[in-house]
Structure 1
């Protein structure tokens, strides 16, 4: 209860009744205020939100790939040992979760299932006998971990790896001595998979990625068939991902953006790249009365140099041209043993060069998604050896140039200043040509390149229209 004595406020005596009246007036005035005049939450503009990588996601991907399958067989006077190869397209679905452990570091796990149309067929014919075998790696699954570095707050460069399983459907036929045999079976192979990738935010919880993976499986004997197989695959996937949590939910104060430079893509650049790939394609070899047609496969590492020029004609678009020269260690081999002799063939696509155009889209000023297409040439070194049962030997060696076309997607992002890094996949198809005595080939290539470039001149130091706010 308030005292009956007056209060002294600012040198004046205020009666208890007056004090109670003032308090009641303030309460009444507060109750009468409209809702709009009360304190409102602080609104943060959309541009002040930065992407957060923590959260669950699902996605789908489309891509291409190839099979390199080491096959050994023998029996009935016919023996062969060769690297079988094949190409095709694929589709995948995946889901996972990421956790941004540091401002520039992300770790995560994911699972994936893939269907593919990859197929490889090989056949051999000798007097009185023939054989053929077809392999189709039609279904694959993987459980993976990944760890990545944020080149900027919207672009993740990562490596992924883990367990993979593969169903391979194999069918074959053989004729010898008037007898025929055939088989068809599906075998499960287990192994490991590893590769690099780039992922870029598109906005509204959507992201896109480009990922390459090499998968190696354990060798198996296909019981009752006379064949032993040791498969591996090279695949690339372009994916579209939806993230359930983490995009656009953290204010800039707690998860600030970084390294989002105002970058002008117009200019000339030069760089170096390293990577891996596989070669495949039909090779036909003849020796004496024997002939063989193989979908051969080879794999190896590569390294190259490149130059180019871009012109950014709009805020989020550019066009450009580029050229490159590449050295590779890929080799395709096949050995055929018959009653009339033994033949050996090796095809090595050791050097290639390309001139391409590219068109790109910039989801943010510092990250470029692009597609490239153009002319490619390649030097193929081929050797062929035949040892006849009667004691004769034939040998041939030749360097041949083949021409063709190349196409593929890529992601490129700014590191700092004029420096950029890129991940690029290419499929290249070449003409059919006789590469040496008795050997005709039509090679194709699946390659992945991780490159670093420096933008010369105007590109490195001037604000672009794409970067204008």
Structure 2
């Protein structure tokens, strides 16, 4: 799974249902002196499923949006630099819901539902700014190689309280829903100005701004829910969320250096547009209280006399959360000094998971089960970091180790999907199976870096360094879990998996290399190193054995 249209449009599968039949015969009757042939009579129909009652459940799916952002640097009321950002984002969803339904009549159902959903919907963008038409110091549209403008946005969770109105359709309920919604969002922006709106020498200015806000908005959507067995139902639904945007404004650091031909102070403004999120998700729900109808025959539990066998093919879905704690290092080098400017990055990351699995089990004996399983999982595990570098030696003048405010170094890492082929070895334990698993794994990862040198090692207008890669890494995975029968051929599981992959190094030549000769240095280069990728995952799954 990649960050393409296929990622952004994840199709959630609707639940599978089956019909049920109740059959009976009434015994015969006898008269006093002569037998009378028994009269066959139809048994009354079993009551149909009733939707009335409280319920609670879990859901998983995918969310996506396609906004754009704008960064501007302004001095003396004149917009000097500007950058446009593609903030297209997507990621998995995992959460819970609860509510109450009233079945008004055999056809209509109304209800109210609340939900909260953790999301992996994140995005980051690092762009070299352009000179605006109102800036007297550079040509309109000229790239400012020594400047880097970054924006990032992360939707931590979504919540809503919604009404539902449905009509019975076949064995299930087709419904529309809408109400109030909330989103908790982290927004970050940073800008390194390579001296155009700032005094030089002195390296220009840097700007950083952050915000965390719980935004209010609305949500509308529709779905289909159908009875599964007993009190269980499954659903598939689409929800559209809409929230307002956000603007972050930062003062220059330090403001007094932001002259550069324009009166101080310099400020940057980063505008995040309205946040409109599309989600598709599937859910499993349990209705509290006694079921109103008999379970569907296709999903009826086995008799007690039938001992469960794990042997056979199976397939299912899983959802959960993944996290890691990587680090990164950005270095600008010149001949004779391989660490002229350096920045350290904390790349701790996390996000939801959603995927599918299939495999085959062999029950060797009543206690032991061996098997093989393959899976693929879309992830929302993303991280970005923008840091002002330091000059560790005397390259930057009389104060080694000082921050370089005119430079900004950014790294980003995004795990698009994980896949594995694993062996499983389990032992029956209670009503289920306790198992260990391990094998070969793959991860598709996007790496990006963008380094702007604010004229410390480069002649004005400074140097810009950009590099990126998309790679599918091979590694290994190991873990364990517990799986137990749910009903019929259905099982549920909970498992932990640990993935390990090598790191990545990106190296970019300066653009334009010929400009990177400040203070007599030859051309500059930049190297960004990402540490080994270690991912912990905890996930739950449901499987069907064929």
Which TM-score band (shorter chain)? 0.5 to 0.7
Select the residue among 94, 99, 116 that pairs with 2:100: 94
- TM-fit CA distance, 1:350: 1.9
Structure-1 residue corresponding to 2:420: 351
Structure-2 residue corresponding to 1:217: 239
Matched, 1:295 2:350: yes
Structure-1 residue corresponding to 2:36: none
Select the residue among 198, 201, 204 that pairs with 2:228: 198
Q: Distance in 1 between matches of 2:449 and 2:173?
A: 46
- TM-fit CA distance, 1:199: 1.9
- Contact between 1:144 and 1:162, CA under 8 Å: does it hold in 2? yes
- TM-fit CA distance, 1:137: 1.9
Equivalent residues in 2 for 1:52-451, closer than 5 Å: 52-53=47-48, 55=50, 57-63=52-58, 65=60, 68-70=63-65, 72=67, 74-76=69-71, 79=85, 80-85=87-92, 87-88=94-95, 90-97=96-103, 109=109, 111-116=111-116, 118=118, 133-141=154-162, 142-144=164-166, 161-165=174-178, 167-174=181-188, 176=190, 177-178=206-207, 180=209, 182=211, 184=213, 185-194=215-224, 198-200=228-230, 208-209=231-232, 211-218=233-240, 220=242, 222-225=244-247, 226-227=272-273, 228-232=275-279, 234=281, 236-237=283-284, 239-243=286-290, 264-266=305-307, 268-278=309-319, 280-282=321-323, 286=328, 288=330, 289=343, 293-297=348-352, 299-300=354-355, 302-307=356-361, 309=363, 323=371, 325-328=373-376, 330=378, 332=380, 343=412, 345-351=414-420, 353=422, 354-356=424-426, 374-377=435-438, 379-386=441-448, 388=450, 390=464, 393=467, 395=469, 397-407=472-482, 411-413=486-488, 421-422=489-490, 424-431=491-498, 433-434=500-501, 436-437=503-504, 438=530, 440-444=533-537, 446=539, 449=542, 451=544
- Contact between 1:84 and 1:295, CA under 8 Å: does it hold in 2? no
The alpha-carbon distance between structure 1 residues 194 and 402, as it changes in their structure 2 partners (threshold 3 A), is farther
Q: Distance in 2 between matches of 1:330 and 1:220?
A: 24
The alpha-carbon distance between structure 1 residues 281 and 400, as it changes in their structure 2 partners (threshold 3 A), is same
Q: Distance in 1 between matches of 2:115 and 2:300?
A: 38
- TM-fit CA distance, 1:167: 1.9
Q: Distance in 2 between matches of 1:61 and 1:320?
A: 35
Structure 2: runs of 5+ lacking an equivalent: 1-42, 72-82, 127-147, 191-205, 248-271, 331-342, 387-407, 452-463, 505-529
- Contact between 1:376 and 1:405, CA under 8 Å: does it hold in 2? yes
Structure 1: runs of 5+ lacking an equivalent: 1-47, 101-106, 150-158, 201-207, 249-255, 313-318, 361-369, 414-420, 454-469
Cα RMSD after superposing both structures: 5.1
The alpha-carbon distance between structure 1 residues 326 and 215, as it changes in their structure 2 partners (threshold 3 A), is farther
- Contact between 1:123 and 1:292, CA under 8 Å: does it hold in 2? no
- TM-fit CA distance, 1:140: 4.7
Larger strand proportion of the pair: 1
Per-residue CA deviation, residues 221-256 of structure 1 (Å, 9 max, x unaligned), is: 6334515442436464452433586679xxxxxxx9
- Contact between 1:124 and 1:291, CA under 8 Å: does it hold in 2? no
The alpha-carbon distance between structure 1 residues 56 and 111, as it changes in their structure 2 partners (threshold 3 A), is same
Per-residue CA deviation, residues 265-305 of structure 1 (Å, 9 max, x unaligned), is: 226453334444456423557473566555344645x3513
Per-residue CA deviation, residues 200-240 of structure 1 (Å, 9 max, x unaligned), is: 2xxxxxxx32x444443336463345154424364644524
- Contact between 1:57 and 1:244, CA under 8 Å: does it hold in 2? no
Which of the two has higher C-alpha Rg? 1
The alpha-carbon distance between structure 1 residues 129 and 274, as it changes in their structure 2 partners (threshold 3 A), is same
The alpha-carbon distance between structure 1 residues 53 and 394, as it changes in their structure 2 partners (threshold 3 A), is closer
TM-score, with normalisation over the residues of structure 2? Answer: 0.49
Q: Distance in 2 between matches of 1:118 and 1:311?
A: 41
The alpha-carbon distance between structure 1 residues 162 and 349, as it changes in their structure 2 partners (threshold 3 A), is farther
TM-score, with normalisation over the residues of structure 1? Answer: 0.55
Q: Distance in 1 between matches of 2:105 and 2:479?
A: 44
- TM-fit CA distance, 1:323: 4.3
- TM-fit CA distance, 1:349: 1.7
Q: Distance in 2 between matches of 1:99 and 1:309?
A: 48
- TM-fit CA distance, 1:188: 1.9
SS at match of 2:289: strand
The alpha-carbon distance between structure 1 residues 309 and 97, as it changes in their structure 2 partners (threshold 3 A), is farther
- TM-fit CA distance, 1:398: 1.6
The alpha-carbon distance between structure 1 residues 72 and 266, as it changes in their structure 2 partners (threshold 3 A), is same
Structure-2 residue corresponding to 1:365: none
Per-residue CA deviation, residues 9-32 of structure 1 (Å, 9 max, x unaligned), is: xxxxxxxxxxxxxxxxxxxxxxxx
- Contact between 2:90 and 2:121, CA under 8 Å: does it hold in 1? no
Of residues 188-197 and 351-360 in structure 1, the stretch that sits farther from structure 2 once superposed is: 351-360
Q: Distance in 1 between matches of 2:358 and 2:307?
A: 23
The alpha-carbon distance between structure 1 residues 304 and 394, as it changes in their structure 2 partners (threshold 3 A), is same
